[in-house]
Chains A and B, each alone.
Chain A
C-alpha cells in the first residue's frame, strides 16, 4: 500500500463522490493497524482472538492503545522484554498475554490465583502464583546482568503469607531477581545479586514499584515515580536461570515466599532509571482511567 494521500485533490474538489479522492490511511500512519491502533497493541488483540479469549471493551482498548503509545513515546517500550497488564475488563486469559511479544512468555495461572476485573490477579498466600515462563538467563534480550529492571503495579496489599511478600526468583547459587511487596522494616529488592536494597515506608501501599540495576554495583528503587533509595554495594553476580513468578519466588522447586499480594501489571527489561517518571505517568494514567 503506497503513501498516496492527495490532499490537494480533496480540497480543490467539492464533489465528494468523485473517485479521484483516493486516501490511503493505513500506510500514511505507518504505526497504526487497520483498526486505528498501534501495530504492537493490535498484535495483542489479534493473539487474543486467535486463542479465543475475551478482549477488553472497546473503551478500554482505546486506553490500552494509549498506554502502549505512551510507553513508546517515553522510550520504555523498546527496553522491555515482558509486559503484562492484568488490570483489564478482558477475561483472565486475556490478562495473561505478554504485550511485548504476545506469542511468547504468556503467563501460566498456577493453582487458581484470583482474578478481579480492572484490578488484576492476586495470590492466596499458600500455593497460587503466576509463572511468566520468562527465565532471564535464556530468554532475556534487554534485561542484562548490569542493565536491568523489574516493576509491578501493586493493586492489593499483602495481608497474609510470608511477611516479606517476595516475588520473582530465589534460587540458591545464583543472583536473585526479587521484588518485595511488604514495605517498611521487611523485605528487600534484588536484581541479579544476593545483596538487596531494603524497602522503606516510602514505598508502602498501592502503586508502581520499580527496581533498576543501572550498573554492576547499584540497585535503585522508585515508587509511584519518586526515588526511594539505592544501594551502591549490591554487586551483580549472575542472571537468574529459572522463570520469574508473581506472588511467590521460584526457587527451582515448589516455590517460596507465597503471599496474597495483588498485581495490576508486571514488567521486566533494561534499566529504566532515566525513563521511570514517564513510565509512572503512563501507568498511572491507565490505572486511574479504569
Chain B
C-alpha cells in the first residue's frame, strides 16, 4: 500500500488542516514516519492543499508493530 510521507517541515505546514468536518492529521508508520493515505489527494475537502499534498513522497506503508495487550 502506497502512502504519502511528510518531512518534518511538511508535517508542520499541513498537519491539522481543517475544512468543515474534514481534518488532515498525519499518522505514524512502523518506521516512525509521518504518513497519510493517498485518498486525501482526491478529496475535494482538501483541494486547497492538493498541490502541497502532491509534493509528499510516495512510500510503501510499513505497519506499526502491535502493542502487547
The residue that B37 contacts in the complex, of A111, A188, A256, with Cβ under 8 A, is A111
A163 at the B interface (CB under 8 A): yes
CB distance from B36 to the nearest CB of A (A): 5
**A188 nearest CB neighbor, chain B only:** B69
CB of A112 within 8 A of CB of B64, answer: no
CB of B28 within 8 A of CB of A254, answer: yes
CB of A109 within 8 A of CB of B29, answer: no
CB distance from B37 to the nearest CB of A (A): 4
Cα distance A124–B42 in the bound complex, in angstroms: 14
CB of B43 within 8 A of CB of A163, answer: no
The residue that B27 contacts in the complex, of A111, A163, A188, with Cβ under 8 A, is A111
A127 at the B interface (CB under 8 A): yes
CB of B63 within 8 A of CB of A127, answer: no
The residue that B39 contacts in the complex, of A111, A257, A258, with Cβ under 8 A, is A111
User: What residues of A have a CB within 8 angstroms of the CB of B13 in the complex?
Assistant: none
Q: How large is the interface on B (under 10, 10 to 19, 20 to 34, 35 or more residues)?
A: 20 to 34
Instruction: Assess A162 versus B21: contact at CB under 8 Å? Given A111-B40, A126-B27, A188-B69.
Output: no
Instruction: Assess A124 versus B66: contact at CB under 8 Å? Given A112-B46, A254-B27.
Output: no
Cα distance A131–B35 in the bound complex, in angstroms: 18
Instruction: Assess A108 versus B22: contact at CB under 8 Å? Given A124-B39, A126-B3, A254-B27.
Output: yes
CB distance from A101 to the nearest CB of B (A): 15
Q: Which positions in A face B, CB cutoff 8 Å?
A: 93, 96, 106-114, 124-128, 131, 160-164, 170, 188, 196, 248, 253-258
Known: A109-B21, A131-B23. 10 other contacts (CB 8 A): A93-B21, A108-B23, A109-B23, A109-B45, A110-B24, A111-B25, A124-B37, A126-B1, A126-B37, A255-B28
Leading 6 A-B pairs by shortest Cβ distance: A127-B27, A112-B39, A112-B43, A124-B37, A110-B23, A127-B37
A-B CB contact pairs (8 Å), 27 listed: A93-B21, A106-B21, A108-B22, A109-B23, A109-B45, A110-B24, A111-B23, A111-B24, A111-B25, A111-B36, A111-B39, A111-B40, A112-B40, A112-B42, A112-B45, A112-B46, A124-B39, A125-B1, A126-B1, A126-B3, A126-B27, A126-B29, A126-B61, A162-B66, A170-B67, A248-B27, A254-B26
